Amino acid sequence: MNNKQYDAVIIGAGIIGNCISYEMALKGYKTLNIDKLGGSGFGSTAGSCAIIRLYYSSPEGVALAREGYYYWLDWNRYLNVTDPDGMAYYKNTGAMVFKSDINKNLAPVMESLDALGVGYRELSPGDMKQYLPNPDLRSYHPQKLMDDPEFGKPTGPSINGAVYVPESGYVSDPKLSTHNVEMAVRNVGGDFMFNAEVTDILTKDGRAAGVTLKDGTVIEAPIVVNVAGPHSYFINRMAGIEDKMNIKTRALRVEVAHVPSPQGVDWENTGVITSDSDTGVYTRPETGNHWLIGSEEPKCDPLEYVDPDDYNQNFTDQLKTQAMRQAMRVPDLPIPNKNQGLVDLYDVSDDWYPIYDKSDLPGFYLAIGTSGNQYKNAPAVGSFMSELIQYCEAGNNHDRDPLQYKMKYIDRTLDIGFFSRNREINKDSSFSVIG
C-alpha cells in the first residue's frame, strides 16, 4: 500500500505530464506522476515526431511555439540535471511550408509570424528546388486514396510556392527527453509510479481528493491533473466531468512511414521539415538517413477513432499511401516493399486545439487533447499549468477571469482562456495535425 500523501497527483508521465510536475515541484508542491506504462514517455510521446515549428495561423499559436522553442534551446540548463541515459537535444533543420488554396497561401501564417518577429523567406516554385532533391513541383490536389484511378496523377502545372522558416527542427529523441524531465522532477523532490493504472478519482467535500489504483491502493491529494493522453476521456468520465465540457477528446489511430532517402542524398544532415498541403503529408529527416512521413489528414483520409486499449497496431494501406504521396513530390524516393514506421495514438479534441484548463470538479485540472502538435510546447505548458493551478487554488475564477500568463522568454502575455474546455469549436482550425 502507498499511504503517502501528495500535494498533487499527475495522471500521465508523457512529456507534458512530466513538465507540469517539474514546474509544480519547483513551486514547492510534492508531486506524484502515475502512469499505466513502464516508464516516462512510453505512450504517445514515444511516437511523437518531436517537430519544433513556429508556423501557426494564429498569433497565440506562434507565441506559444516560440516560447517553447527557447526552452528546447536551453534544455540542459532549464532542467539543471544530467540524465545518466543521456540528454535529448534540439536539431535545427528549417521548415518549408507549401502555399496552397487550402491554407490561403499562408497569408494568416505570415501575418502571425510577422506579429511575433519571426523571420522567414517566401519561395517561388523555382526557389524550392534548393530544398528538395530533384522535386516534381506540379500540383496533385485534391488528394485521393490509392485505389482511386486518378491517384498520383497531377492536376495542375505548378504548386504556388512556399514559406521557409529557418527556426524549425526536431528533438533527437522524444522518449529520452521525457526521461530527462523525470530526472529533473526527481531532483527537486517529485515521485513517479509506473505500471499503475488509475481506476477512480476520489472526491471529498465536493472537490478532488486523490485517486484509486487498480490494485486497490489509495493515494490522497487535493489536486489531480489529467494528462493521460489518449486515455484522457476515460479519466474525465471517472471524475464525472466529461458531460459538462463543451469540447471533448478522443483517441485517434495514426500511422507514420519511415522511408530511405534517395541514393546519394544525405537527408539526415541536409534535409528540412516539409509541410505539403498539396500532397497532404508532412516530413522530417530521421536518423539512419530516412524520411519520416506523416499525414496532414486530407479530406479523403478516414479518421479512425479507437478504443486506446484495443486497436489495430498493424500497418495498413495508409502507411504506403503517405509514402507514395511524398514520392509524387520527390520521385527518386524509394518505396520499400517492407513497410517501416509506427502505429500510434493521438489524443485529439473536437477542434484539434488542446484543452489546458480547470474543470467543473474543483481541484481537478486538464492538459489534454495535445497529441500531434503540442510536444514542442510542453515546457511552456508546464509553466503556465502550474500557474493556472496556483491561480485557481487561490480562489480565482478562471472561467470568468482567465489567467493571463506572462511568458518567460518572449515579451507577451497569453490568455489561457483560449484553451478552455467550454470554448466554442474553433472554426478557423485546420482540423488536422497542423493545429
Class for domain 8-86+173-248+351-419, per CATH? alpha beta
All three cell numbers of 324, joined, read 507514395
DSSP string of 76-97, one letter each residue:
HHHHT---TT----EEE--EEE
* Residue 156: Cβ within 10 Å count: 11
Is 330's pLDDT higher than 60? yes
C-alpha 289/C-alpha 305 separation (Å) is 32
The mean pLDDT of 201-228, rounded to a whole number, is 97
**Residue 285 amino acid letter:** P
pLDDT band at 128 (very low <50, low <70, confident <90, very high): very high
Pick 192 or 425 by higher pLDDT: 192
pLDDT band at 432 (very low <50, low <70, confident <90, very high): low
The mean pLDDT of 40-50, rounded to a whole number, is 93
Instruction: Express as a percent the part of the chain with pLDDT over 70.
Output: 97
Any idea where the domains of the chain sit in the sequence? 8-86+173-248+351-419, 95-166+252-344
**Residue 300 amino acid letter:** C
Instruction: Express as a percent the part of the chain with pLDDT over 90.
Output: 91
Class for domain 95-166+252-344, per CATH? alpha beta
Q: Does pTM top 0.85 for this prediction?
A: yes
Residue with cell 529527416: 285
Residues contacting 401, CB < 8 A, separation 6+: none
DSSP string of 362-391, one letter each residue:
TTEEEEES-TTT-GGGHHHHHHHHHHHHHH
**What pLDDT is stored for residue 58 in this prediction?**
81
**What pLDDT is stored for residue 117 in this prediction?**
93
The mean pLDDT of 240-248, rounded to a whole number, is 97
Are the CB atoms for 85 and 123 separated by under 8 Å? Answer: no
Pick 61 or 395 by higher pLDDT: 395
**What pLDDT is stored for residue 431 in this prediction?**
60
Is 2's pLDDT higher than 80? no
Range of weakest confidence among 182-186, 228-232, 348-352, 400-404: 348-352
Pick 239 or 373 by higher pLDDT: 239
The mean pLDDT of 370-395, rounded to a whole number, is 95
**What pLDDT is stored for residue 242 in this prediction?**
97
Q: Same fold for the domain at 8-86+173-248+351-419 and the one at 95-166+252-344?
A: no
Tens-digit pLDDT profile for residues 271-306: 999 999 999 999 999 999 999 999 999 999 999 999
Is 229's pLDDT higher than 60? yes
Is 130's pLDDT higher than 80? yes
Is 1's pLDDT higher than 50? no
Own/partner pairs for 302-309, CB < 8 Å, 24+ apart?
303/252, 304/252, 304/253, 305/250, 305/251, 305/252, 305/253, 306/251, 306/252, 306/253, 306/345, 307/251, 308/230, 308/231, 308/234, 308/251, 308/345, 309/231
Instruction: Tell me which residue of 388, 424, 384, 426 sits closest to 406, measured CA to CA.
Output: 384
The mean pLDDT of 101-115, rounded to a whole number, is 93
The mean pLDDT of 371-392, rounded to a whole number, is 95
Tens-digit pLDDT profile for residues 169-184: 999 999 999 999 999 9
Tens-digit pLDDT profile for residues 181-211: 999 999 999 999 999 999 999 999 999 999 9
Question: Over the chain, what is the mean pLDDT?
Answer: 95
pLDDT band at 9 (very low <50, low <70, confident <90, very high): very high
**What pLDDT is stored for residue 61 in this prediction?**
85
